[in-house]
Amino acid sequence: MNGCMKRTFVAGSAAVLLALSASSAFAQASAGEEGTFFIKGGTIVNPGGQRLANTNILIRNNRIVDIGPSVVAGEAKVIDATGKFVYPGMIDANTGLGLAEIGSVQTMSLRSELGDFNPHIRALVGINVESELLGVTRMSGVTSVVTSPAGGAISGQAAMINTAGWNWEDLSVMKDAGMVMTLPGSGGRGGRGGGGGGRGRGGATANPNLAADFQRFMEESKAYDDARTAGATKLDLIYEAMRPLFHREIPAIINANGEQDIRAAIAFGEKWNLRVVVQGGADSWKVRQLLADKKVPVILSSIEAAPGDSVPYDEIYAQPGLLYDAGVKFAFSTGQGSNSRHVAFHAALAEAYGLKAEGALKALTIWPAEIFGADKDIGTVEKGKLANLFITTGDPLDLRTQVSYVFIKGRDMPFDDRQTRLYLKYKGRPVTIKP
């Protein structure tokens, strides 16, 4: 039933769609149809270049349990992917999805907390799984995103989530993907695109003593961590939240755009022995060799941004190609929510301006997974990983390509997002006008 609807959806037959729009297919919750699925005969395209033509995939209990040309369906529901392509779900490495809904409505856009130092706040617990933005996002093949808090000097903990699930717990891939922060004095190239984060209440902070406060906060956090490691038992929830950083269990996601800010972020990581991820990275091409040498990855802010007057017109589009050639690991991000699905188009622009196709796919899938340490679960179509994948008629970066199926955590996702619902409703309106 579900698959039937999807095929007709792609074919665009109004009558059938209309009939289906009222059917039980739409009773299916946005969390998707559970079950055992057999994706038959598709070409699997994984980052790294290996294409597996005419290959079957068996999905059970959320995961890919087998892949191969000779894998059989058994009792699984068969999804015919013959002539189609199976891609790992795409990842948007910085969003406000689930936290922010309508930007202009304050109560629907709660992505930042009061105060400068909020390591203890967690994005995951504020995520609304019924956000209409999540539905629109996932049906374009973006199956996971990083949702980050913003504002302040230490904004809080980002979460890696799937774009469908029954609740935030079910949605979660990594509840603590990293600690989002903005170093004092940075922001020389802020305001570009939506990706910078750190834009909460009045930018990074209005605190004139921020640099000193930040230094003291780090020292106190470290002292606390040392004491705890030595056996102290008294808990402070704020300092406690900083401990995974010092133990390199999670990265410090540092908003930095200008060249000096990026260098400062790297130096900060070395000083405190942290894993650093640069977020924003507008000028990262200027320090690409350093980033490569230090193995510091970059979450690029939105490619959909206008360049400054004094830089090459194609700077933003061409930068990913330069980073790739230099060996820098990076991921794309939209920074916001409503058009998280555009992350594929970001990659397309980068590819047009010099990023190799394999790099574009890596930066949409396995690299963001690796950067946040989620690669054991997502990032490729591989046996044992979560079945986060989508089936298309072609290259997902090509605008002419149609998405036929989306699987998240092994669940077959229905095309019941807000935009599709409205599409079906109004496509069914009788035509009273002769064109």
- List contacts with other proteins (CB under 8 A): 10, 12, 101-105, 132-133, 136, 140, 285-290, 293, 304-315, 318-319, 321-322, 325-326, 337-339, 342, 345, 347-349, 351-354, 357, 360, 395, 397-402, 418-420, 422-423, 426-427, 429, 431-435
Distant-in-sequence, close-in-space partners of 206: CB < 8 Å, separation ≥ 6 = none
Give min distance, CB of 353 to other proteins, in A.
Answer: 6
The dihedral through the CA atoms of 157, 158, 159, 163 has a sign that is: positive
For other proteins, the closer of residues 26 and 77 by Cβ is 26
- Tokens encoding 370: 């690796």
Give min distance, CB of 334 to other proteins, in A.
Answer: 12
For other proteins, the closer of residues 38 and 285 by Cβ is 285
The length of the chain is 435
CA distance 12 to 30: 22
Distant-in-sequence, close-in-space partners of 195: CB < 8 Å, separation ≥ 6 = 94, 279, 280, 299, 300, 301, 302, 305, 333, 334, 335
For other proteins, the closer of residues 199 and 342 by Cβ is 342
Number of neighbours of residue 23 by Cβ within 10 angstroms: 11
For other proteins, the closer of residues 105 and 230 by Cβ is 105
For other proteins, the closer of residues 213 and 259 by Cβ is 259
For other proteins, the closer of residues 324 and 367 by Cβ is 324
Nearest to 356 by CA among 29, 110, 48: 48
For other proteins, the closer of residues 170 and 259 by Cβ is 259
Give min distance, CB of 196 to other proteins, in A.
Answer: 15
* 60 CB burial (10 A radius; 0-12, 13-18, 19+): middle
CA distance 369 to 380: 9
Helix (H, G, I), strand (E, B) or coil at 117: strand
Give min distance, CB of 17 to other proteins, in A.
Answer: 11
* 52 CB burial (10 A radius; 0-12, 13-18, 19+): middle
Give min distance, CB of 178 to other proteins, in A.
Answer: 25
CA distance 23 to 26: 6
| CB hemisphere CA count around 45 (13 angstroms) | 24
For other proteins, the closer of residues 268 and 345 by Cβ is 345
Nearest to 17 by CA among 341, 431, 371, 423: 423
Give min distance, CB of 432 to other proteins, in A.
Answer: 5
For other proteins, the closer of residues 12 and 384 by Cβ is 12
For other proteins, the closer of residues 305 and 386 by Cβ is 305
Torsion angle in degrees (nearest 10) through CA of 296, 297, 299, 303: 110
CA distance 301 to 336: 10
For other proteins, the closer of residues 229 and 419 by Cβ is 419
CA distance 350 to 185: 30
CA distance 184 to 142: 33
Give min distance, CB of 185 to other proteins, in A.
Answer: 22
Give min distance, CB of 354 to other proteins, in A.
Answer: 7
Give min distance, CB of 307 to other proteins, in A.
Answer: 7
What is the DSSP-derived secondary structure letter of residue 54? E
- Kindly state the greatest CA–CA separation across the chain: 80
Give min distance, CB of 419 to other proteins, in A.
Answer: 4
Give min distance, CB of 387 to other proteins, in A.
Answer: 23
